[in-house]
Amino acid sequence: MKVIKIGGGCLKDGPAARKIIELIAKRGEGNVFVLSAFYGVTDILIAGIEKALENEDTAPIIITHLKTLHNTIIKSLIDDINKRKQLSKDLSMIFQKLERYYYGISFTREATPRMRDMIATFGERISAAVLSKALSSMGKKSCCLLPEDAGIISDGKFMDASAIMNKTSKNLMSALDSIMTPQTIVFIPGFYGVSESGDITTFGRGGSDYSAAVVAASIKADVLEIWKYTQGFMTADPDNIPHCKLIPELTYEEAAELSYTGAGILHPRTVEPVKKAGIGIAIKNTYNPDAPGSLITKNARTAEKIIKSVSYTKDISVLKIHASGVGARSGILSQITENLSSSGINIKSVVTSQTCISLLLSRSDIEKGHQSIKKIRPIPFTKTSIVTDVALVSIVGEGLQNNRGIAAKCFTAVFDANVNIEMISFGTSTAALYFLVHEEKLDTTIHALHDIFFN
């Protein structure tokens, strides 16, 4: 049995979704599909929470907007008008419930984490109901299995939950056992699970990749396929390097590193559950489904020059905390990290020297993070500053640590391109080397590195 994840990017509009259901009808029998919401729906749901907090009149407006968006897609998916009406009836119950949640927020002027997570899952609830109905209207045997009914058990952490694998596995095995036949197509909404006390909890934004990995590992699937509108992992971002190439094979570590800086092919946590279970991940292109795509396995072959990809992210900034002997003073780092974590700020990485702690944060967090640590009393530092005009570059390839000369080759290429390296992080991963450059030098850096490792 395969587990196949379909992302919101493949469900952009009616024609795109139509293409997908035809592909599912052709290749999906006897397999489990984990779905994202239709494109943009989760954003609308979450933005709706803020609107509802401000004004109770907005609840019906949000619902109408969502209904219109979905109805347009449904028209492309289901030709039979009676079947469409039937689906509308099923969905109206879901929309009614959602509307009540928004009113609840308006009246109480409060959106608890529990409520936020519950609302955020409606995109997936709807897409799974729609695709399942569309397949059955084509004469296929399909059904929709909700995570709360299937028993995808989470640790209960709102907005950032993890699955409890042994319990989930036991539940899912028996749930599927009772519905699966060689013809059945099962749809499971991604993005969330249910805690042991019954709370709906999401796995964080973009978390339906992780959901699919949890399902694949739980039922010991033959493979986890991620259906995308792109070819797979590439040696660089095609926007920078149009002649970059597909990476046919990657190890779990390489894929995990590339999901932090790469083109958003996979949610960073996807690898976790499948790696433990030894299940491979195949990235498949929906426009060319017979192409092999990128395959992620334990035994993926090493690239000729070790490095498989040059990637980057601009969503990075540095919060610098200066004080003498910070590297030797216990407690200061934990004080700072605790302060940031209680402000809801994620630290992407930390680099310390004896006089400065540098925290790498998302650009959207940097101002808030800076203000937050300034409030620590007694003040444990002499000075703080932020840097925002940087980009994080990485070269990724399993074995770069043990193969002499890779780092030298990388930094020589960057030096020869006349680019100054702002900060280096090497040795924390066996499969990646990271460094910061000025944002305006990013393109030059990427070209220099791609030339040296791939031409």
Binding residues for Mg ion, rule: CB under 5 A, are 7, 206
Looking at beta carbons only, is 36 or 137 nearer to ligand ASP?
36
Which one of ligand ASP, Mg ion, none interacts with residue 280, CB within 5 to 8 A by kind?
A: none
Which one of Mg ion, ligand ASP, none interacts with residue 207, CB within 5 to 8 A by kind?
A: ligand ASP
Least gap, CB of 211 to ligand ASP (angstroms)? 8
Looking at beta carbons only, is 202 or 285 nearer to ligand ASP?
202
Looking at beta carbons only, is 7 or 147 nearer to Mg ion?
7
Least gap, CB of 260 to ligand ASP (angstroms)? 16
Q: Which residues contact 408 (CB under 8 A, 6 or more apart)?
A: none
Which one of Mg ion, ligand ASP, none interacts with residue 191, CB within 5 to 8 A by kind?
A: ligand ASP
Say whether 290 sits in a helix, a strand or coil. Answer: coil
Q: For the chain, what's the residue count?
A: 455
Least gap, CB of 37 to ligand ASP (angstroms)? 4
* Closest to 209 (Cα-Cα) out of 190, 229, 231, 228: 190
Footprint on this chain of ligand ASP (rule: CB under 6 A): 8, 36-37, 42, 123, 190-191, 205-209
Write the CA distances from 88 to 130, 244, 354, integer angstroms.
9, 45, 63
Which one of Mg ion, ligand ASP, none interacts with residue 268, CB within 5 to 8 A by kind?
A: none
Looking at beta carbons only, is 209 or 249 nearer to ligand ASP?
209
Structure tokens of 241? 């390097």
Looking at beta carbons only, is 42 or 201 nearer to ligand ASP?
42
Least gap, CB of 7 to Mg ion (angstroms)? 5
* Closest to 310 (Cα-Cα) out of 399, 435, 193: 435
Least gap, CB of 270 to ligand ASP (angstroms)? 10
Which one of ligand ASP, Mg ion, none interacts with residue 445, CB within 5 to 8 A by kind?
A: none
Which one of ligand ASP, Mg ion, none interacts with residue 205, CB within 5 to 8 A by kind?
A: ligand ASP
CA distance 170 to 151: 9
Tell me whether residue 157 is exposed, middle or buried, using C-beta atoms within 10 angstroms of its C-beta: 0 to 12, 13 to 18, 19 or more.
middle
Looking at beta carbons only, is 163 or 357 nearer to ligand ASP?
163
CA 21 to chain centroid: 23
Residue 376 and residue 420 in contact, taking contact as beta carbons nearer than 8 Å:
no
CA distance 182 to 184: 6
* Closest to 45 (Cα-Cα) out of 112, 113, 118: 118
What is the bridge-based pairing of β-strands 383-387 and 317-322?
antiparallel
Least gap, CB of 191 to ligand ASP (angstroms)? 4
